[in-house]
Amino acid sequence: MRKGQYRFVAGFLFVPVALYVIFVIWPYIQTFGYSLTDWKGQSQTFDFVGLDNYRALFQDDVFLKAIWHNILFLVFIPVITILLALFFAFMLNVGGRSRAGGVQGVAGSKFYKIVYFFPQVLSLAILAVLFNAVYRSDGGGLLNGFLIKIGLVDADSPVEWLNEPSMVLWALMLVVVWHGVGFYLVLFSAAMQSVPRDIYEAALIDGAGRTQSFLRITLPLLWDSVQTAWVYLGIVAMDMFVLVSSMTQNMGAYGGGPDHHSDVMSTVMMRNFLYYGKSGYACAMGVVMLLLTLILSVVTLRATRRERIEF
């Protein structure tokens, strides 16, 4: 490098790094600091309590349950979303019946692509309103209304979708998957379009069916995109705050019901932080969330690491 170039580069790097340190790293450090105190959230007087908050955390049934709910989301949301998105993307791009000398999507694929993307333009808040109407617990709900009409559900005892411990997590998961599939479909489509057609054509000539060309060609060549999607969806699964707090039965504040069956770490944290006034304790939860998210990212990146295929 030429003389002076380092300074030039450093100049450009400094501002973003400084912003990052002030607005991301410093709050993390502060949170850690507060997590060692009995801060109550509405003033700056507090005492240092060492690791008491962390000790209490591992005996807090509600928080431990919430971790499990996040883990459940973590397992199912990425898997279901990615599989569906991959399937649809494959069908839209190369899944069509092969006519002479061409590889193409199913009929009307352009139309589908736009339709699938629709949910993604809705904000989470609108999504919550929408699905509250779908899951509404009396005959006025979309699902209940339909099921009552076709006689599957008794009008006197409609299904309380979000008030059933065994159903509430799945009901929430459906919202996230419905919301996410369109975006990842477009992501995967873009990646698929960069795969040279001649590879598919060669496979076709060799007699590969849809399944084989998907598993042997598409998936390996899309691995980078899948990995990215996995990390993003993992972060979504670790959060879930908006949907849980605005859709589920209220447990004091920030949803989480029935009986904490849908509580996730972020809702428990906010409830403790503001509603119970146990802010130092909530900061300890925040630190645990940070650690779990870090571990998750590292594990995901390691576990999905593969040889890169050049094409």
Partner 1 sequence: MGSTAHHGAEGVGRRDLIKRSAALGLVAVPGMGLMSACASGGDSGNSDGGDTKGKTSKDNPFGAKKGSKLDVVVFKGGYGDDYAKAWEADFGKKLGITSTHTGTQEITGKLQPRFNAGNPPDIVDDSGAQQIKVDVLYKNGQLLDLAEVLDAPSVDDPAKKVRDTLIPGTLDPGMQEGKVVALNYIYTVWGLWYSGKLFKEKGWEEPKTWDDFLAVCKDAKSQGIGGLAHQGKYPYYINVAIMDLIAKKGGLDAMKAIDNLDPKAFVGSDAAQAAVEAVYEVVEKGYLMPGTNGLTHTESQTRWNQYKAAFITCGSWLENEQLKQTPTDFDMKFLPMPVLSGSKLPFEAIRAGSGEPFIIPAKAGNLPAAKEFMRRMLSKEWSTLFAKQANSLTILKDGVDPGVQLRPGTQSTVEASKAAGDNTFRYLYTEWYSEMGTAIEAASNELMAKRIQPKEWLKRCQAAVDKQAKDPASKKNHRD
- Residue 103 vs 226, nearer CB to partner 1: 226
- Binding to partner 1 (CB under 8 A) within 111-130 occurs at none
Interface pick for partner 1 out of 249, 290, 292, 293 (rule CB under 8 A): 249
DSSP string, 231-295: HHHHHHHHH-HHHHHHHSPBSSSS-B-STTTT--HHHHHHIIIIIS--HHHHHHHHHHHHHHHHH
Interface pick for partner 1 out of 5, 45, 59, 211 (rule CB under 8 A): 45
Does 241 bind partner 1 (CB under 8 A)? Our answer is: no
How far is 172 from 160, CA to CA, in rounded Å? 13
How far is 248 from 260, CA to CA, in rounded Å? 10
Report, in Å, the least distance between residue 50 CB and partner 1: 12
Does 252 bind partner 1 (CB under 8 A)? Our answer is: yes
Assign 274 to helix, strand or coil.
helix
Report, in Å, the least distance between residue 145 CB and partner 1: 11
Interface pick for partner 1 out of 54, 117, 241, 275 (rule CB under 8 A): 275
Interface pick for partner 1 out of 102, 108, 140, 220 (rule CB under 8 A): 140
Q: What are phi and psi of 97, to 5 degrees?
A: -60, 135
The residue with tokens 């802010």 is 279
Number of Cβ within 10 Å of residue 80's Cβ equals 17
Binding-site ranges for partner 1 (CB under 8 A):
25, 29-30, 32-34, 36, 40-45, 48, 132, 135-141, 144, 155-158, 160-165, 223-224, 227-228, 231, 249-253, 257-260, 271, 274-277, 301, 304-306, 308
